Amino acid sequence: MKLSRVTWAVFVLLSGMVRGQELSIQKVAGLETDRNIMITGIFGDKVIASRQWELHKFTDRGRESEQTYHLAFAQKTDSYAELSLLEDFTFNSASYDDGSANYCELDSTLYFSSARSGNGEIELYSSKWNGYEWKTPIRMEQNMEGHSSAHPWITQDGSMLIFSSDRPGGMGKMDLWFCNRIQGGWSKAVWMGGEVNSTENELFPTSFNQDIYFSSNRMGTEGLDIFVARKSDQWKLATRMEAPVNSSADDLLLLHLNKETVFLTSSRGGKDEVYLLRTEQEVIEGYTVWMECLGTPVIGADIAFLNELQEEVLRDSTNIDGMLELVGVAFSQNYTVKIQGVPEKVVSRSVIYVRNSEGKIVKEFRPGKNGLFYFELLMGDRPGGPELLENPDESILSLDVQGQLFNKTKGDIGEGEVVYVTDSVGNLLAMTYTSREGMFRFEELRPLKDYHFKSTAEATRMVIFDGDTEIEVGHMEGGFTYEKLSEEEAIRLLDEFRNPIFIGKDEVFIIRNIYYEFDSVRINQVAQSQLKHLAAILRNNPEIGIELSSHTDSRGEVGYNMELSQKRASGAADFLVKEGISRPRIIARGYGESQLLNACDDSMECEEELHALNRRTEIRILYND
């Protein structure tokens, strides 16, 4: 039996469409054929297509041709705007139409229409998926002898079966009916009522949220048009949808991919073809993404943004600053961010920051348990919104480690090689890149007894620079191990977050960010925050004391600078006392300009940034063993 257009047209549409809302429409690529083809459902990451075949028969009159429909899978490529046809369903009938299929995840069952019974009627069938094959289709009990039942649709929650039938009790032609799921199957069919149905045909019901969509050729339409019926306590009067959903040709709605994206099968091009409709979204402009791992930019990471439909909307690599530009990404959309090209340990410890067009950080994203980032920018993240504050949860006790990788001679390793440092059990602490001649530098490492280094460079030797001393580090399979402290030398403490650290006796640390304006002793807010961290360390380790030393730059008289530095050190000590630290545990000492960190003495003209490095506060841990 061949099925008429009224019986077998298939449609798709968008839920919650607002009058006047901008829609884009494009023909789905990859399905080009000289016969009709339609999309009828979703199965996992595939879509279900109904495509027309030419069936050849040989009779006593010779060869005859007949058109029939078969079900097949199609796979999206990078997006649903392009599909590729895959295998046919194994249970397709050779002689009769199979079509309008809808898969329900709740009961792992495909519901479809078929004329395979050979009785001249279209009927409802179901087939179970057991994880690797489809079971033999079963004719459903909801069919009625002598009448057609077609186009089964299961609502999203699996609670209702909706279909089209010309059985008695309707308005004369194909009307919409529904069954509720009950224990062991489905209830008896119930007519959907006159608010939804008409004296003409209502076909291909689908649903999204609480709305029912269907196709009808009722009075006032040009062929088949798409209608929507919205439900509150009961079904409201169905209304015809506007262009570009409907046209002067047959337009038939079936499948929502999500609230913004649908497939539309329409004959507006001369035959049944599949189109993709999307609501237009406000695209982000002028925003950048910055990826860093433990304070170091991640260079060359291949980053892909996938929307809710797992369509790739952006793929790019981070530049030398760990940044890339957001292009084609929209506000108020959920994205999954996949990162390739860098080790998993780096991804797991990385943070992605988003800067708006004003340069402000407005979002911070960290990986989930599966190593993926989940990304959404709200409308409030546009310029003028709040700026994200930097993470304050970093310890003030940290070390800088400098080194060089090489093989036979220093300099035979170039720049751009990745260097990783881990603790003794393999936890990634930081990553960086070699500069010229294989040099590298790690800043703000947690103080430990030993560090383990790995690199993409095929280096066989490594040295660590400790002041003016070079320490050659032992090479083992897979990397290098630098033993900073022996078991006898290492003193175990707790940092301000109660994480274990190991230091040497009388080891000196620069308290970062406690800088002073020129000729000033004022402790600003940033410095106060750092001193509060120091107070927490002292509270966590009652067995230690500190020498708190202050240093100036070279500008000004030597005697004056010495006095100024002493005032700064004493001011910091006073602040710690107010935080509850007893004064005998603190030695405040000023060194003036006697211990410059760079060459910016009285004989040199330097930029302000270099002078500022010399205006610093250091602490030396005094351990009472």
Query: Quick one: pLDDT at residue 232?
Result: 62
How far is 346 from 455, CA to CA, in rounded Å?
Answer: 13
CATH 2.60.40 fits 399-483, yes or no: yes
Q: What's the pTM?
A: 0.54
Asked if the domains at 288-381 and 399-483 fall in one CATH topology, the answer is: yes
Domain ranges across the chain: 5-279, 288-381, 399-483, 505-623
Mean pLDDT of 121-146: 91
Query: 215 near 224, Cβ under 8 Å?
Result: yes
Of 271, 254, 376, the closest CA to residue 36 belongs to 271
- Element at 64 (helix H, strand E): strand 62-76
Mean pLDDT of 400-425: 88
How far is 439 from 503, CA to CA, in rounded Å?
Answer: 25
**For 38-66, how does the pLDDT look when each residue is reduced to its tens digit (9 = 90+)?**
787 888 888 888 887 654 333 333 334 35
For β-strands 190-191 and 202-208, DSSP reports them as: unpaired
Query: Quick one: pLDDT at residue 125?
Result: 93
How far is 360 from 374, CA to CA, in rounded Å?
Answer: 20
Q: Where does 366-517 show beta strands of DSSP type E? A: 373-375, 399-406, 418-422, 428-433, 439-445, 450-455, 461-466, 469-476, 479-483, 491-494, 500-503, 508-510
Specify which of 38-52, 281-295, 471-485 reaches the highest per-range mean pLDDT: 471-485
- State the CATH class of domain 288-381: mainly beta
How far is 227 from 593, CA to CA, in rounded Å?
Answer: 82
pLDDT above 70 covers what percent of the chain?
86
Query: Quick one: pLDDT at residue 40?
Result: 77
Helix axes 558-578 and 525-540, enclosed angle (nearest 10): 60
- State the CATH class of domain 5-279: mainly beta
pLDDT reading at 7 higher than 50: no
Of 476, 313, 472, the closest CA to residue 404 belongs to 472
Specify which of 233-242, 300-309, 325-334, 518-527 reaches the highest per-range mean pLDDT: 300-309
**Sign of the Cα pseudo-torsion (182, 184, 185, 187, in order):** negative
Least confident residue range of 26-35, 212-221, 550-559: 26-35
- Supply the mean pLDDT for the chain: 81
How far is 450 from 399, CA to CA, in rounded Å?
Answer: 12
How far is 333 from 374, CA to CA, in rounded Å?
Answer: 11
Least confident residue range of 18-32, 195-209, 415-429: 18-32
DSSP secondary structure letter of residue 4:
P
Q: Cis peptide leading into 500, omega within 30 of 0?
A: no
Place of tokens 């002793």: 521
Query: 513 near 530, Cβ under 8 Å?
Result: yes
Query: 231 near 212, Cβ under 8 Å?
Result: yes
Of 489, 609, 594, 485, the closest CA to residue 549 belongs to 594
The domain 505-623 belongs to what CATH superfamily? OmpA-like domain (3.30.1330.60)
